[in-house]
Amino acid sequence: MKSFFAIAAGLLAASASVFAASGPSNPGYISKYSLPANHSTETKEYIVTWWRNDTDARKIDDYVDLLQLSKTDSVQAVSSEGVNPQWAVIIMCAEHAKIFADMAEINVVEEKADVKSFAEQQGAPWGLQRVSSAAGAKGSPQDQDFVYSFDDSALGAGVDIYVIDTGVRTSHAVFTGRASEGFTATGSFVDGDGHGTHVAGTAGGAKFGVAQGANIIEVKVLGDDGSGASSDTIKGMDWVIANHNKRKAQPGFVGSIMSMSWGLQGTANSVDEIIQGASDAGIHVSVAAGNDGVDACGSTPAHLGGKNSNVVTVGSVNIDNEISTFSNIGQCVDIYAPGEQILSSWATGDAVINFLSGTSMACPHVTGVMATLMTKDVAGLGQNPAALKAKLLETARQGDVKGNTAGSANLLLSNGVDGNVARRLTKNYVVPDHSGLNGSPAARAAAAVIAKDITLDKRFQLHSREAKLRF
């Protein structure tokens, strides 16, 4: 990395002196300058990232002073100590942003972008049998007499799964005391949307989840409407990286996974850089492919998947192994997993469950399998994203996905079990049909339970059997 700051001469006032560089012990500096009197007064939030492994980066105070900005008013957030690459969120005008962009040690300068969670529909939890049976899960996805098979009872114990989403109802019964509050960008840890709680339940909840021994850590970066800002996702991932670095020295720690069931309309280089920084730190990353039925290579973070990355991008299939009509496809998709009609935990109560669909639901299935693979080979896979991705794809069932993959590998998620039942984890969650019933889906379900004496497990209450597709 260069040991000086390069600034476009046209942006400096005529009276400003040119930068001066010194020896290796001093990374150099830029002179103070005056912006033109008629420069823009309109300011926006910009995300600035330094090059990874840059040893010459100065403290943010130095940049603010040299650029004559007010740290109190302009600097919204900065990276934690030890996080690589360094980053900052700064309120400034376009002229200031251009000067930052021209500095040699700066990699990305871009405006804050909006982030939305992926979407869902109606369904039932057949996914556990699909990932653990060579024969798959046959019949109607509304039938709940499915079996989860596995060959290692640890089921992800010692793995930290960071659910970067709308929040997690950590008190929910399915988390059996393994869920904790980690970080919030909104000031509240309440999951007012439900999306994050559902995702967390599939990744590691009892009965409905894959890695039922893993730690679930809430990282709330999206609001109660399921949307947020790219800068908030960066803040959340920064916290994850810093916490992962602390956890590495603690006994019993296996490794970390960031599970991210959200995406942008387009790409954001700053978010990409922090995700890459997390991977470089030894954190595994699984992301949803998106629900627009298009090429996954067109949006962050889905486009980070593929052959040349350690990030795992996940598409969705239905119970018949057919690619979901909503699922994004293409060369950036690494693997397909159950994503339609999935039953998992819900945020409106500690015993409430709900049906959702989307690549958001496929992603945590992969997260859970990643966690279970890590516990079976801690030394080889625990903190080696490249090795774990290779193992995950090697373990997948080849050629079982039906439909047009548009160039992606034809790989279906598997935990490596051949379908022999090792342990039965799910009960018969019967969902009544609509016959002769009126009202909302929830009302129909409740009426059928009373009329036909059909019950879910006594500990759980069905929220709804239908949900609209989002994003």
Which residues are part of the catalytic machinery?
Answer: 165, 195, 360
- Residues 290 and 360 sit within 8 Å (Cβ to Cβ): no
Angle at 219 between CA 218 and CA 222, to 5 degrees: 120
Q: Check whether the bond before 251 is cis (ω within 30° of 0).
A: no
Gap between the Cα atoms of 351 and 174, Å rounded: 8
For strands 114-117 and 179-184, give the pairing. unpaired
Report CA-CA distances (Å) from 86 to 60, 78, 249.
10, 8, 23
Q: Tally helices (H) and strands (E) across the chain.
A: 11, 19
Tokens representing 150 are 């596995």
* Three-state DSSP state, 76: strand
Distance linking the first and last C-alpha atoms of the chain? 40
Please state the length of the chain.
Answer: 471
Q: Strand order in 227-229's β-sheet?
A: 227-229, 114-117, 262-263
Q: What are phi and psi of 220, to 5 degrees?
A: -90, 110
* Listed residue (75, 91, 105) closest to 40, CA to CA: 91
* Type of residue numbered 28: G
